[in-house]
């Protein structure tokens, strides 16, 4: 039996999927948890599909080193990957699907039914507004926090400062706005 949560991030090169995984791992470690973050690249070029992964455990070291094929959580940074990327492959029944999209939450609820908790946010619009670029990594972390409660927004203060320096405040603002704007459809129990 696994004692950790597994996350699979889907994005395109340059969108920040790898950075997202690193930041959630740093936030978890800062809270005294155990965490891993690792990427999986195809052709290493800007715009190419990429995946990155996390494992997070509250209380036990993580000894598993294999790839993640059946995640508890899937986070999609690029909306086009929902159509072409088979992002739901292996997502555990009862897991969480978090999507950067302009489509309403109900669209995905009707598409996927009640198999997973589903969360949506227009992370692209938030990133363009607050960061001035279409890099949605920290914005999607805000959506992850809202959908899962895996960490608190305050857990990212130090990792953001370390990673982004003087841009940390803007990234925190993007994360907070995504936390507020993410729509979540909870699973029906029973």
Q: Which pLDDT score, from 0 to 100, does residue 151 have? A: 93
Q: Is residue 139 part of a domain?
A: yes
Q: Which pLDDT score, from 0 to 100, does residue 33 have? A: 95
Q: Is residue 34 part of a domain?
A: yes
Q: Which pLDDT score, from 0 to 100, does residue 42 have? A: 60
Q: Which pLDDT score, from 0 to 100, does residue 43 have? A: 57
Q: Which pLDDT score, from 0 to 100, does residue 115 have? A: 87
| pLDDT tens sequence for the chain (190 residues) | 568 999 999 998 888 899 999 999 999 999 999 999 998 866 556 677 889 999 999 999 999 888 899 999 999 999 999 988 689 999 999 999 999 999 999 999 998 878 899 999 999 999 999 999 999 999 999 999 999 999 999 999 999 999 999 999 999 999 999 999 999 998 776 5
Q: Is residue 190 part of a domain?
A: no
Q: Which pLDDT score, from 0 to 100, does residue 24 have? A: 97
- Domain with 29 in it: 2-183
**CA gap 154, 161 in Å, rounded:** 12
Count of structural domains within the chain:
1
113: CATH: 3.40.920.10
Q: Is residue 120 part of a domain?
A: yes
Q: Which pLDDT score, from 0 to 100, does residue 189 have? A: 65
Record the pTM: 0.94
Q: Is residue 189 part of a domain?
A: no
Q: Which pLDDT score, from 0 to 100, does residue 47 have? A: 74
Tell me which residue of 172, 155, 152 sits closest to 164, measured CA to CA. 172
Q: Is residue 68 part of a domain?
A: yes
Q: Is residue 14 part of a domain?
A: yes
Tell me which residue of 133, 124, 106, 99 sits closest to 177, measured CA to CA. 124
Q: By the 8 A CB rule, do 153 and 175 touch?
A: yes
């Amino acid at each position: 039996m696994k004692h950790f949560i597994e996350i699979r991030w889907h994005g395109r090169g340059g969108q920040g999927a790898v950075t997202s995984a690193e930041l959630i791992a740093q936030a978890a470690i800062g809270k005294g948890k155990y965490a891993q973050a690792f990427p999986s690249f195809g052709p290493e070029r800007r715009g190419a599909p990429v995946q990155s992964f996390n494992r997070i455990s509250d209380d036990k070291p993580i000894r598993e080193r294999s790839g993640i094929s059946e995640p508890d959580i899937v986070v999609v940074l690029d909306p086009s990957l929902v159509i072409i990327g088979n992002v739901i492959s292996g997502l555990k029944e009862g897991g969480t699907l978090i999507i950067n999209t302009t489509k309403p939450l109900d669209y995905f609820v009707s598409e996927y039914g009640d198999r997973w908790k589903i969360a949506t946010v227009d992370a692209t619009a938030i990133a363009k507004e607050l960061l001035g670029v279409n890099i949605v990594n920290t914005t999607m972390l805000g959506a992850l926090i809202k959908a899962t409660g895996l960490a608190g927004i305050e857990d990212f203060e130090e990792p953001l400062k370390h990673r982004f320096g003087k841009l940390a405040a803007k990234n925190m603002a993007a994360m907070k706005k995504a936390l507020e704007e993410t729509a979540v459809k909870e699973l029906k129990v029973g």
